[in-house]
Amino acid sequence: MLSRLARPAAVLCRGLATSAQNNAKVAVLGASGGIGQPLSLLLKNSPLVSRLTLYDIAHTPGVAADLSHIETRANVKGFLGPEQLPECLKGCDVVVIPAGVPRKPGMTRDDLFNTNASIVATLTTACAKHCPEAMICIISNPVNSTIPITSEVFKKHGVYNPNRIFGVTTLDIVRANTFVAELKGLDPARVSVPVIGGHAGKTIIPLISQCTPKVDFPQDQLEKLTGRIQEAGTEVVKAKAGAGSATLSMAYAGARFVFSLVDAMNGKEGVIECSFVRSEETESPYFSTPLLLGKNGIEKNLGIGKITPFEEKMVAEAMAELKASIKKGEDFAKNFK
């Protein structure tokens, strides 16, 4: 069976007829990194993408030369260093940003703030100037702060559109689907668990009660499963023992999100993904919930829906941390020059 990732993008695309529908111009900023390289490979492999521009402060000529030999139609070009960034962004429909340092054992995502906040602010400033209409997908952590930073940067430049700025939390959904499938002996490609809230520890809130197909767990197993989903990133950080955090599964998740977005931009109906976005669904000004995507980004926020008292408690307990991380990002962006 085709995976979720292969489904929208079809299989390999030799001889694929080009149509006006499949002409997404996508930029990856941080393209030489652990996430950036496999993500760029998956994007290059998709018939949805016609132009792939790769930016980093190192190694992009090599990554681009390598990818450009693959027999798919996306035109690949590498851009190196800040003076080449504007050219990388011009005309882009979608910009994906996995630039920045990853966690090492013992670190929280918030520990990355000092380095990654300015990287994200710098890159999104360039996006606001050179492709203000593009969909901006931020992977760089801490996502709970880097999305508010991006919003503030776009506001500063007078080009803010909350329907086009996304915190990529798809890996939490991918993990939840996989872990539920493992426990229940299901095909993971057929499991769908919404994950709401934010993208750090207790702010990651899987809604197992809304899983399709419907699954039931005794409370102790439910709590263990929920904890594993929340700490799955740390599981990878520990296993990599200092060599970084999730890269391959994140590349898969990032590509899944971009393909959903591009499908929706191309007019496909009923495309739903969870993402950390500007939100009025709770008292937190940014919050992830399932979103109906469309030609212009978020078409409709589908909200939290019916949840259990256990899930309600998690939402309530996430609020303080979410609001603090959001404020930290907003304060940083206000002082960023």
Ligand X SMILES: NC(=O)c1ccc[n+]([C@@H]2O[C@H](COP(=O)([O-])OP(=O)(O)OC[C@H]3O[C@@H](n4cnc5c(N)ncnc54)[C@H](O)[C@@H]3O)[C@@H](O)[C@H]2O)c1
User: Would you say 33 is a known binding-site residue?
Assistant: yes
φ, ψ (nearest 5 deg) of residue 308: -85, 165
Q: How far is the CB of 185 from ligand X (least distance, A)?
A: 27
Cβ closer to ligand X: 154 or 257? 257
* Angle at CA of residue 112, ends 110 and 116, nearest 5°: 120
CB of 142 to ligand X, least distance (A): 8
The residue (of 140 and 284) whose beta carbon lies closer to ligand X is 140
Sequence-distant (6+) residues with CB within 8 A of 107 are: 237
170-184 and 232-240 helices cross at what angle (nearest 10)? Answer: 90
Rounded distance, CA 333 to CA 148, Å? 8
DSSP sequence for 10-40: -S--TTPPP-TTS-EEEEEETTTSTTHHHHH
Structure tokens at 297: 């980004």
User: Which is catalytic among the residues 59, 69, 130, 199?
Assistant: 199
Can you give the length of the chain in residues?
Answer: 337
Query: Percentage helix, strand, coil, to 5, in the chain?
Result: 45, 20, 35
Is 241 exposed, middle or buried, given 0-12, 13-18 or 19+ CB atoms closer than 10 A? exposed
Cβ proximity to ligand X, 23 vs 188, nearer residue: 188
Residue 137, H or E segment:
strand 135-138
Minimum CB–partner distance for residue 18 and ligand X (Å): 30
Q: Annotation-wise, does 175 bind a ligand?
A: yes
Q: Which residues bind ligand X (CB under 6 A)?
A: 29-30, 32-36, 56-58, 98-103, 112, 116, 119, 122-123, 139-141, 143, 168, 171, 199, 244-247, 250
For this structure, is 69 an active site residue? Answer: no
Question: Min. distance of Cβ 92 from ligand X in angstroms?
Answer: 15
Determine if residue 36 is labeled as part of a ligand binding site: yes
Tokens representing 313 are 């408690």
**Residue 56 among known ligand-binding residues:** yes
Nearer Cβ to ligand X, position 13 or 195? 195
Nearest approach in angstroms of CB 90 to ligand X is 17
Task: Please check if 250 is assigned to a binding site.
Answer: yes
Residue nearest to ligand X (CB): 33
- Confirm or deny that 32 is annotated as ligand binding: yes
Query: Annotated active-site positions, please?
Result: 199
Binding residues: 30-36, 56, 103, 109, 116, 139-141, 175, 250
Binding residues for substrate: 103, 109, 141, 175
Binding residues for NAD(+): 30-36, 56, 116, 139-141, 250
